[in-house]
Amino acid sequence: MNDLAGKHIVLGLTGGIACYKAAELCRALLKEGATVQVVMTEAAEQFITPVTMQALSQRPVFDSQWDARASNNMPHINLSREADAILIAPCSADFMAKLVQGRADDLLSLMCLARPLDNVPLLLAPAMNREMWTHPATRRNVTQLKADGATIFDVGCGDQACGETGDGRMLEPQELLDEVIAFFQPKTLAGQHVLVTAGPTYEAIDPVRGITNLSSGKMGFAIARAAREAGAEVTLVAGPVHLATPRGVTRIDIQSAQNMHQAAVEYAQNATIFIATAAVADWRPANSAEQKIKKDGSGDVPKLTFVENPDILATLAQSPRGRSGALYCVGFAAESQDLLANAQAKRLRKGVPLLVGNIGPATFGQDDNALLLVDELGSKEMVRDSKLALARKLIADIATRIRARS
């Protein structure tokens, strides 16, 4: 993907051991299509050289407000005017304090102060020792910087270079990249709480065997990510899948359809949108054996009997909040043929305003998909694309439908 195509990022480095991660971050930003201008403070240069950052960014690094390379001798104006964002990673405790006071005695802080507030957002990735991070002075500075309009990314928790353990590590380059990509996505679902079910379920036959299906969870995880990028609070109830949790999403892992039903009903209470992408098992073995079922040598096969699982989507769509529209329910249909007819029939059967059809065997486990949106007025195709691109389009479409109601 080229999620940052056309974006010009000023990547500012301040003094901290996390400067080593800035090298990887710089590469990741470029790979995603951005152009990157690195600006370093004197302290940052104690940790990593401008040579490294120049080689990675493919542009000369700036580190002085007296740099004569610019013909007007005003690098702070030139560099900040052409930026789509100034990203400071790592941002030290000292640099935060400086920003709070509006001091401008080095090129990077000068640029932050001189940047056009409305056009050039300031994104900060703090990095410091855990005591510094929790110190009341830093807490005050974080509050003030947010009030001044800066976006402050979370810090990681874990082992610190100083040997202590706690909050204050800079996020990993990939996590910061995801945050920057999310920052630039339109906030069409701000204030909404989205509940997503994803992946297959696993119905136990005995402690070592079970019935599941080929759903990879990729579409549901992409939708959870896109909803969070659009500004929603997101809860993802996931069956057994091997996928990383999208940043900022609360994930609840479950196994069986009954577990998923219970979790979905609980988390739907605070949700305003429910998107059911999970491939829920329709039936489960009536009795799951407590111990492994053994072959007894007679050649007889075990007789499995099944009972139907609860229909999570139908339950929530027919709940009082589902019926009133307080919980906007979106279903998925994994079909193997006759997509339009099956999706239309399923929409009516489940009682949902919007149902999204896809051909299961053509998409399970793949990174791309094609969707057919079916509502009371008709249908609309979303042509084959990556699951993330489709998820973003679907989220934008749902946001428009929700806006149209109110």
Residue 126's beta-bridge partner residues? 91
As given in the structure block, the two tokens for residue 318 are 């027919």
Task: Tell me if 358 contacts ligand CTP by CB under 6 A.
Answer: no
Task: Tell me if 399 contacts ligand CTP by CB under 6 A.
Answer: no
Cβ(221)–Cβ(239) below 8 Å: no
Nearer to ligand CTP, 18 or 237 (CB): 237
Task: Tell me if 374 contacts ligand CTP by CB under 6 A.
Answer: no
SS3 58: coil
The whole-angstrom separation of Cα 307 and Cα 70 is 75
Nearer to ligand CTP, 173 or 357 (CB): 357
Binding residue for ligand CTP, selected from 91, 124, 280, 354, defined by CB under 6 A: 280
Binding residue for ligand CTP, selected from 28, 85, 189, 276, defined by CB under 6 A: 276
Task: Tell me if 19 contacts ligand CTP by CB under 6 A.
Answer: no
Judge whether 162 counts as a catalytic residue. Answer: yes
Task: Tell me if 246 contacts ligand CTP by CB under 6 A.
Answer: no
The whole-angstrom separation of Cα 172 and Cα 389 is 24
Cβ(276)–Cβ(331) below 8 Å: yes
Stretch that binds ligand CTP, among 105-113, 160-168, 237-245, 330-338 (CB under 6 A): 330-338
Residue 151's beta-bridge partner residues? 123
As given in the structure block, the two tokens for residue 303 are 């007789």
SS3 186: coil
As given in the structure block, the two tokens for residue 78 are 């030139």
Residues 303-322 binding ligand CTP (CB under 6 A) are 309, 311-313
User: How many positions of this chain bind ligand CTP (CB under 6 A)?
Assistant: 17
CB of 333 to ligand CTP, least distance (A): 4
Which residues neighbour 318 within 8 Å (Cβ) at sequence distance 6 or greater? 351
Task: Tell me if 153 contacts ligand CTP by CB under 6 A.
Answer: no
What are the CA-CA distances from residue 70 to residues 63, 64, 76, 77 (Å)?
A: 13, 11, 10, 10
Task: Tell me if 266 contacts ligand CTP by CB under 6 A.
Answer: no
Binding site for ligand CTP (CB under 6 A): 197, 257, 276, 278-280, 282, 309, 311-313, 331-334, 346, 350
